[in-house]
Structure 1
Amino acid sequence: MNFDYSSAKEQLDKKVSELREKPFLPEELVNLISNVAAIQLEAQQHSAPTIPTDLAPEDANLQGRPLLARENFTYDYEQACKLVDELAELVGKEEGPIAEATTMITASIKSGELDLKQAFKAYLETDDDFFMGWAEKMPEAPRTLSFLVQSALTPSIKAVAAALEEKLPHQPADTSERADSAELDFELEQPAPRSHGHCPICGSVPFMHTLHHQQGFRYANCSFCHTEYRVRRMACAYCDNTNADSLKFFTVEEAPGYRVDVCDSCKTYMKTADFREVNKVSVPALNDLESLPLDFVAVEEGYNRGTLSVWGF
């Protein structure tokens, strides 16, 4: 799948304009995230990781095994190192604890105390102990290192995922309940929903859902490789619960076009973007930020988010 930089940049710019209109989002946060996202898009054009070929068999993938486990993802090492420097310079211009933490990280890289290759490996392998050790050194901004590492690796990860997406096997759509011929034809053109909530490419859990098309087909947005894939309409992404009585959703006025889907079985929540009747631009990583009021309400109601944002916090 070819990466259309111009289209992606246009979408990003429009979405950032929407974010700037939200009174609950600090200008400094919007500026930081929009600048990082722009750097990532530019880098994705030139990212050149080796694409793995040792993938899970088609039948195993359809049964839930990812094509490539996240710890086996390749990346453009030279580019990632340059991005850490560029992102550190950007974040270092901020004020407060995050800038101080970034200064410490930069000094640790130069002194050799922090090995970036080890940090990249720790992120791919979800080695929380590695990042916890560094978090203890910067208690006022504990997730600064994970933010820099994750942001620097994202262009490579997305490039690998885009190449692997073309290798995903497709199972036949279930059209047994489709009576209308036009609806049936449209259904046949769409990928069938996956029977598991996790990403078919890397196996990670999604960070958001998005509804597409008039029918409201439900798609998940992967928290690691950013792949968007179709999932079942009624199922918890985390525990696979399909009991309609324990799957609910709610909305808030401050976040039009969004809702929170909650699971009373595992007490988790997932936000869903539904822009079918709202004139908004969809960029999942920024949709997550724009729908922040729903996170506060979901937590107040006793539910937990199943994963961090794609920004590492």
Structure 2
Amino acid sequence: MLRIFKRSLNSGKGIWSNFSNRSETLKVQNIKPHAATYHSPLLIDDAFKSAYEILQQESEKIYQRAQTVEKDDLKDKLLSQAESKNPEVLYNIQNGNDLDITQPVYRNHLKKQWENYDLMILMQRLEQFKVIPDTLPTIQPTVDVKVKFPHITNGEFNRWIVPGEFLPSFLTKQPPTIKLQQFDNYKNESKLFSIVLINPDEPNLETNSFKTTLNFGVSNLSLSLTDDSLDVTKYLKYENGSEEFSMFKSYEPILPEVNAGDYQRACLFVFEQPEKINVDQINAEDFDIRSFVNNYNLSPVGGTMWRQKYDRSVNDVRSEYGLSKGRVFHRVRKPFPLI
């Protein structure tokens, strides 16, 4: 494979060798060494050179077509098609090299990869645990939302979480890093987003049922293809007076109480904003997410969820936040209010 790429680099002055108008990230970024005992089949050099030239000529024609197209989505599709058979691009994809998300061919590959696995897992979990329609009527994600809790720097939780998994309270006690991978942002422009974390399983003693609480909320968060995360550095800047986004509900961890159901669902949703908004008069203790979406004309574009239940770390986390001891509920629901 290494010899093949060396041949491609020396095979002429076609479109794939010209980087005056193409990104350097379309080159092989990290060639992994292979066994020195490999021997190429006879005549493969001539066959490879001929095939490479044909593919390059086809790519050049597609690039010429792309120059005449005005629609961003169609141009993006053509630019991706022009590089889809480039051996160096394919090598980068197949070997897990860091992919430049600004390049259409890489972005479309990552989108297909997301649609074929992570998106299906997400939707299955949202439906399995009845997040939809208990919170929103439905959602059609266009943004890949990933969450991890960076204050845990080693061990099994030092990773992006899997939708639907159980997380301990000591892990979720600090605000998460939230990564929004956009796929249809063809010009790498900054877009505005709102993010909310809700718990639709908070016991409501007055109705002998449950209510939704708001545990975290930000708006006017400006993100692009390359600036795609809300992380600890932005939290710190915000606390020091940087107005990179608006926080209408500071982070408060979900802390399930004894016998308050089998588990509680932490539901994180991402909404795209048409313009800047000023969120006020939010009832965090009884949050109506559907009214929130309608009032501010928000479009749900992604999300994730995890589950939590009472564990040994809950009381310590409550103490850290200055909260009183949690309640203990009866295991059997009664047909009448408890208070």
Give the TM-score of the pair, scaled to structure 1: 0.22
Return the structure number with greater strand share. Answer: 2
Question: Which has the larger Rg?
Answer: 2
Give the TM-score of the pair, scaled to structure 2: 0.21
